[in-house]
Amino acid sequence: MLIWHSSLSANTQDIIYWMPYGLAAITAMLALQFNRRQLIAVVIVNTFSYWLIASYLQQPLSISEAKFAFTSVCLFIPINLVLNQFINENGSTTPRAIAIYVFLLVQMASISLALNFFVADTAEFITEWFEPRPREGLVMSLAALGLSVVCIVAAFFRWAYKSTSLTIGLFFSFVASLFPLMFLDREAISSVFFTASMLIMLYAGFRASHELAYRDELTGLLGRRMLFEKLAGMSKNYSLAMVDIDHFKKFNDTYGHDVGDDVLAMVASKLDQIEGGGQVFRYGGEEFTVLFKGKKLDHAIAFLDDIREIISETPFAIRDKTSRDKGDKTARNEEAKPKNTVQITVSIGVAEKANHHANAEEVIKDADNALYKAKNKGRNIVVG
Ligand SMILES: Nc1nc2c(ncn2[C@@H]2O[C@H](COP(=O)(O)OP(=O)(O)OP(=O)(O)O)[C@@H](O)[C@H]2O)c(=O)[nH]1
């Protein structure tokens, strides 16, 4: 047993005890400000679990009330946090978000009611399936541990599939929330790990909102400001490409600015699928930049050529402009039928950072010169 906590002053112990609640309040405010339901759900799950542990689990687990509270929290955390990660974010006050809050509230109310009225009835079931302390040092039952492992693996794949600051934060905060359950009898463990869990979410929330400020609204890509911030931190060994949509002015003039915007979004989403470590930015207008950190020119050219080919082979459907302007649902359904398709191509110029480049602007200039050559060569080509 650790002795560090009991050797602290009463004031410090109090601060440690209240820390998860304080951080939960700050995270909830940030989540509302930035319209993030996933953050709010984590706050609710963590706060309730911490309260349950602080209120009911400061007594031996052999007491049926404690055993019931412990089993409840062992199920409540993994099930809800993994579901939270899998249900896509679409705002903190949407009907879907409200349904999720209600779902959580119903569970919390049921656990609280059962704790006060029906503990004896459930004791047998708990003893059979979720008997705590199956191994020395481990408090969580094997069944709950198995469930947690399944949920962690699922959450990991979710993160790997869609890696953003928030999904990374959700994963690690989930792991932190499970630690107190495994090692419940360590001193102050729930305060420490729920504090860690909330700090991770707070950090992830800040990062996600910070990134939002750097994103281009139309394409969802990072913008030029972020590109220059990244380049400022890189002194050597990278390749950089400038990508420009061919004859875009003619396209805008023929089909209108709205259709032009759709083309920009389509090209951006295709470019964003580039492999080989390329990171895509909207440089401005109909120009994009792809940055290959630590990669040679040949490597970049190979992957850029693949993506150039994919874009040129993706037919772009032109929709009826008049119905689109009306904006109502029926008109949109009618317009959903493509009138015709056109081929969109891009030209790409690439440059690799070399000793003679004094700064990133000079590398961009070389990539721009290569792009100019690509246009002169007839477009739909990569020049390095
Ligand atoms: N729809 C739309 N058009 C944009 C946006 N930003 C820039 N443009 C248009 O992009 C066009 C750029 O055209 P140019 O640079 O002249 O070249 P281009 O027509 O692409 O021809 P090449 O580059 O020589 O193949 C201009 O008509 C701009 O108005 C935008 O956000 N949305």
- Mark whether 196 and 63 lie in a shared domain: yes
Task: Provide the 10 A C-beta neighbour count for residue 30.
Answer: 19
pLDDT at position 166, please?
85
pLDDT at position 150, please?
96
Instruction: Assign 1 a pLDDT band (cuts: 50, 70, 90).
Output: very low
Is the pLDDT at 3 greater than 80, yes or no? no
- Mark whether 195 and 229 lie in a shared domain: no
Distance of CA 338 to the CA centre of its chain: 33
Q: Which of 252, 254, 321, 377 to mutate to test the pocket of ligand 1 (most atoms within 8 A of CB)?
A: 252
Report how far apart the first and last C-alpha atoms of the chain are (Å, whole number). 63
Instruction: Assign 143 a pLDDT band (cuts: 50, 70, 90).
Output: very high
Is the pLDDT at 340 greater than 90, yes or no? no
3-class DSSP string for 346-376: EEEEEEECCCCCCCHHHHHHHHHHHHHHHHH
CATH number where 373 lies:
3.30.70.270
Mean pLDDT of 58-73: 89
Q: How many domains does the chain have?
A: 2
d(CA 67, CA 59): 10
The shares of helix, strand and coil residues in the chain, as percent rounded to the nearest 5, are 65, 10, 25
Lowest mean pLDDT among 3-7, 106-110, 342-346: 3-7
Is the pLDDT at 42 greater than 70, yes or no? yes
Residue 89 belongs to a domain: yes
Cβ pair 197, 25 in contact under 8 A: no
Q: Which residues line ligand 1 (CB under 6 A)?
A: 244-250, 252, 257, 260-261, 264, 285-286, 375, 379
Domain that holds residue 278: 224-383
Give the pLDDT confidence of 213-259 residue by residue, as tens digits: 888 889 989 999 889 988 988 877 899 999 999 999 998 999 999 99
- Mark whether 293 and 192 lie in a shared domain: no
Last residue of a domain, one of 196, 214, 232: 214
Last residue of a domain, one of 214, 237, 254: 214
Is the pLDDT at 148 greater than 70, yes or no? yes
CA of 260 to the centre of ligand 1 (A): 9
Ligand 1, atom 13: closest residue by C-alpha: 249
Residue 3 belongs to a domain: no
Q: What angle do CA 97, 100, 102 make, to 5 degrees?
A: 110
Is the pLDDT at 347 greater than 90, yes or no? yes
d(CA 299, CA 314): 24
CA of 286 to the centre of ligand 1 (A): 5
